[in-house]
Amino acid sequence: MTDINELVDALTLEEQVSLLSGEDFWSLPAIERLGIGKLRVTDGPNGARGGGSLIGGVKSAAFPVGIAIGATWNVTLAQEIGTALAREVKAKGAHVSLAPTVNIHRSVANGRNFECYSEDAELTAALAVGYIRGLQENGVSATIKHFAGNESEIERMTMDSVVSERALREIYLRPFEDAVREAGTWGVMSSYNRLNGPYTSDSRWLLTEVLRGDWGYDGVVMSDWFGSHSTADSVNAGLDIEMPGPTRDRGDQLVAAVKAGEVAPETIRTRALNVLRLMERTGALQGSAPFEERSEDRPEDRALIRRAGAEAAVLLKNEGLLPLTPGGRVAVIGPNAKVARIMGGGSAQLNPVHAISPWDGLAARLGEEALRFAKGCSNHRFEPVWSGDLQVAFYEGRDFSGDPVHVDTMEEAQAFWNPPLAGGKVDPTHFSARVTGTFTPEADGTYRIGLHSVGLSRLYVNGTLVADAWEGWTPGRTFFEQGCDPVLGEIALTAGEPAEVLIEFASLDQVGLGFAALYAGIGLPLGEEAIEEAVRAASEAETAILFVGRSGEWDTEGSDLEDIALPGRQDDLIARVVAANPRTVVVLQTGGPVEMPWLDDAPAVLQAWYPGQEAGHAIADVLYGDAEPGGRLPQSFPRRWADNPTFSQDPEVYPGQDGKVRYEEGVFIGYRHYDKVGIEPLFPFGFGLSYTDFTLTGLAVEAAEDGALARLTVSNTGDRAGSTVVQLYLGEDGAPLPRPVRELKAFEKLALEPGESREVMLSLPPRAFAWYDEGGACWRVTGGSYRIEAGFSAADLRQQADVEIGAAVIAKEAQR
């Protein structure tokens, strides 16, 4: 039986209900009676981790993170990445990728900005469409997330995002709308938060009236993990699948709700039919192949990731220093120089097939003999993880009583303990564990010990209690807000003398995301002498390259940043190295903006983001001119944290207060905010330098029956081939309500040879001119004269033209 309408009617009520919740963490149950296979999902969006833990597991290709893809402004490249990721998902035995993440950069401090594309809805929507098409044209479902209003990680599982319908329609829902109408996404994931009252997973307005009614969606809506909150309400609202399994609110409870008349049998049939449609689309419906997860290190993936990483790099400043010419000694300096910062933290992280650090990339190009390394300072949030040959013993109960029921090894003192734990021998909600091993210091000194956990923990060194996260444990800002804040201790150790380390752990009653976790780190703080060594290295080299920024400890799901200053003493390090060597390049790796008090003195600054596993190769390609710095900023960089759109004296605006965060700025986020309040950002939205020069000429805009068409010519006037992004902004001065000074409405990325010119045609559909009328529940074009500006950033607009457009009302169901 292959007709899903016949198949759903052949299912019993209990079988239909079984399809509406996970069987385990990553899959839905098979129904062998009718030959229905098992649907499997995997985390994304910068890879496919498979069914393993967030740490370790089968290795996967690590692609550039979302903000890096956003910086490419390249829809075709996003589709190529989606195509490659479809292969990765299949290699992990899955049918569904939990990606892409398209929440908007509302605040510069959101810990998950790295995973999202942009502050701009139109750029985000276009890239999402390309990415989804790449996945789904190859038989893998996208699951666009998080729907909707999840623009902060602070109390995200309970926070009520209070957003006007106009701001939702014009900004926050736009990527989801195009994902449905243009890309035909097969999956949507509801967010954790509340939206204007109800949880999104219980919101009939969001899941049924908007998603299925206004946009005509026929795919599946699944909850974020542990993000559903009810039985009848969520099913009636439009939530198809509760994840993960085993079920908490469905199963027998949902069957009982149907029999009690709280949920109509036809509603259950519709939800089950949606799931069967997804299984049919992805080949899972009759899938009978044995489950297998493979690691596939493909040369074509390495090449794509390297190319995409270079195309994402944004050249922020260049006083003629870049591209570099090989020759002379190069000082490679900074806390990110010998560490491959390839991804952010949280559910997007994975075990990469390999990871190329900047040092690796430069050594491969120049030879190690040409390089000199100096770390200078540290930038970690947590002490470096304790690693080695560690042993963990699990006990029944929380008091270490009796003999261990399971003993295993660990490579490092970092663990996510999800069910099934210890091969099913341990109750994951009621256990204790001892981790033992040694730490041999390389130098004498007072070492810092850091410990945080989801559960009670304490750490002993040579029998002495050094870090206690047991007494007075409370949840904080680690492990998705499920873990305590780091507890720090210090102990003096002698070089070469092994120290015995013991960690004791006891689980707590599981709430929220339902896991236990542990992290223990040991590190020797760097002092003034480390910066002095870096300054000496820089002064004795022809060129100094500084690799600074953050890491996935800072840019992570589950925790917003407290500010946008570079962590630790990095600002001091940069200032002193730049003063020591006028040929210094600063390479930033962050998931968003940082303050740059040293900018005026630095001759060259490159923003490299987290560009995936080929990071070091991609960065070296750009530094030495093998590749163009192809990126343009997808997010405005403010001069200081207080300039950003969510800064307010009212904490309810950000970070939220008493369970509510109010989007008071409405549609005025990102560059719209800076234009409105007259603040000049450090670097504007869309900005990025090239190794060549471009001009724009001849902008002409003609009204048409279906909107307007803009024409202009772009020319490469330099002596190198290069790429640029032509950006088209629209403004309306006479609107009956406040509108931004300008809004991005179309763009095109193009590569040109030296001296080459090309005509670019950009369409402006009726929706480009419209604003959302809450009172009339429609899209409305005021009519009259509209200003069209073309340029290379929101602040570099070189051509302007006006066009007359008639007044109109656009029905919700109309296509763009």
Calculate ∠ Cα 708-709-710, nearest 5°. Answer: 125
What CATH code is carried by the domain that includes residue 716?
Answer: 2.60.40.10
**CA 298 – CA 303 distance, rounded (Å):** 9
* Residue 293 domain-assigned (yes or no): no
Q: How confident is the model at residue 19 (pLDDT cuts 50, 70, 90)?
A: very high
Shared domain for 700 and 791, answered yes or no, is: yes
For the cut 70, the answer to whether the pLDDT of residue 812 exceeds it is no
Shared domain for 540 and 516, answered yes or no, is: no
Calculate ∠ Cα 499-503-509, nearest 5°. Answer: 170
For the cut 60, the answer to whether the pLDDT of residue 815 exceeds it is no
In sign, the C-alpha dihedral spanning 180, 183, 188, 189 is: negative
Interval 459-469: pLDDT, tens: 999 999 999 99
* Residue 683 domain-assigned (yes or no): no
For residue 600, the SS3 value is: helix
Shared domain for 628 and 572, answered yes or no, is: yes
Interval 117-131: pLDDT, tens: 999 999 999 999 999
Shared domain for 393 and 496, answered yes or no, is: yes
Shared domain for 51 and 109, answered yes or no, is: yes
Read off the tokens for 644: 């950003």
What CATH code is carried by the domain that includes residue 454?
Answer: 2.60.120.260
**CA 483 – CA 22 distance, rounded (Å):** 25
Shared domain for 430 and 568, answered yes or no, is: no
pLDDT at 514: 77
pLDDT at 228: 97
For the cut 90, the answer to whether the pLDDT of residue 52 exceeds it is no
Interval 616-657: pLDDT, tens: 999 999 999 999 999 999 999 999 999 999 999 999 999 999
Shared domain for 571 and 707, answered yes or no, is: no
Q: What are the residue numbers of the active site?
A: 224
CB contact set of 423 (below 8 Å; sequence gap of 6+)? 406
Shared domain for 205 and 234, answered yes or no, is: yes
Interval 588-606: pLDDT, tens: 999 999 999 999 999 999 9
Peptide bond just before 323 cis, omega within 30 deg: yes
Shared domain for 367 and 507, answered yes or no, is: no
Whole-number CA gyration radius for the chain: 27
**CA 636 – CA 269 distance, rounded (Å):** 46
Q: How confident is the model at residue 418 (pLDDT cuts 50, 70, 90)?
A: confident
Write the burial class of residue 113 (CB in 10 Å: 0-12 exposed, 13-18 middle, 19+ buried).
buried
CB contact set of 191 (below 8 Å; sequence gap of 6+)? 145, 146, 147, 148, 149, 150, 156, 200, 224, 227
Interval 359-377: pLDDT, tens: 999 999 999 999 999 999 9
For residue 537, the SS3 value is: helix
For the cut 60, the answer to whether the pLDDT of residue 17 exceeds it is yes
For the cut 70, the answer to whether the pLDDT of residue 549 exceeds it is yes
Pairing of strands 314-318, 604-607: antiparallel
* Residue 720 domain-assigned (yes or no): yes
Which residues form the domain of 738? 694-810
Q: Which of 523, 556, 582 is the last residue of a domain?
A: 523
**CA 500 – CA 546 distance, rounded (Å):** 37
What CATH code is carried by the domain that includes residue 231?
Answer: 3.20.20.300
Interval 773-799: pLDDT, tens: 999 999 999 999 999 999 999 999 999
Q: How confident is the model at residue 423 (pLDDT cuts 50, 70, 90)?
A: confident
Contact 192, 227 (CB under 8 A): yes
**CA 208 – CA 143 distance, rounded (Å):** 17
* Residue 563 domain-assigned (yes or no): yes
Shared domain for 174 and 25, answered yes or no, is: yes
Q: Which of 475, 506, 523 is the last residue of a domain?
A: 523
Dihedral of the alpha carbons of 240, 91, 558, 449, in degrees to the nearest 10: 150
* Residue 685 domain-assigned (yes or no): no
**CA 561 – CA 559 distance, rounded (Å):** 7
**CA 670 – CA 686 distance, rounded (Å):** 11
The residue count for the chain: 816
Overall average pLDDT of the 109-121 stretch: 97
Overall average pLDDT of the 412-421 stretch: 87
Read off the tokens for 370: 């040409």
Please state, rounded to an integer, the average pLDDT across all residues of the chain.
Answer: 96
For the cut 70, the answer to whether the pLDDT of residue 814 exceeds it is no
* Residue 81 domain-assigned (yes or no): yes
* Residue 288 domain-assigned (yes or no): no
7-37 burial, b at 16+ Cβ within 10 Å, e below that, comes to bbeebeeebbbbbbbbbbbbbbbbbeeeebb
Residues paired with residue 606 on neighbouring β-strands, in sequence order: 315, 587
Shared domain for 125 and 166, answered yes or no, is: yes
If we measure between CA atoms, which residue out of 109, 104, 159, 153 comes closest to residue 127?
104
What CATH code is carried by the domain that includes residue 363?
Answer: 3.40.50.1700
At 732, which amino acid appears?
E
pLDDT at 816: 42
Read off the tokens for 368: 């190690």
Q: How confident is the model at residue 55 (pLDDT cuts 50, 70, 90)?
A: confident
Interval 740-755: pLDDT, tens: 999 999 999 999 999 9
* Side-chain half-sphere CA neighbours of 438 within 13 A: 7
Shared domain for 124 and 106, answered yes or no, is: yes
Q: How confident is the model at residue 283 (pLDDT cuts 50, 70, 90)?
A: very high
Interval 302-341: pLDDT, tens: 999 999 999 999 999 999 999 999 999 999 999 999 999 9
Q: Which of 610, 640, 656 is the last residue of a domain?
A: 656
Overall average pLDDT of the 183-212 stretch: 98
* Residue 749 domain-assigned (yes or no): yes
Q: In the chain, how many domains are there? A: 4
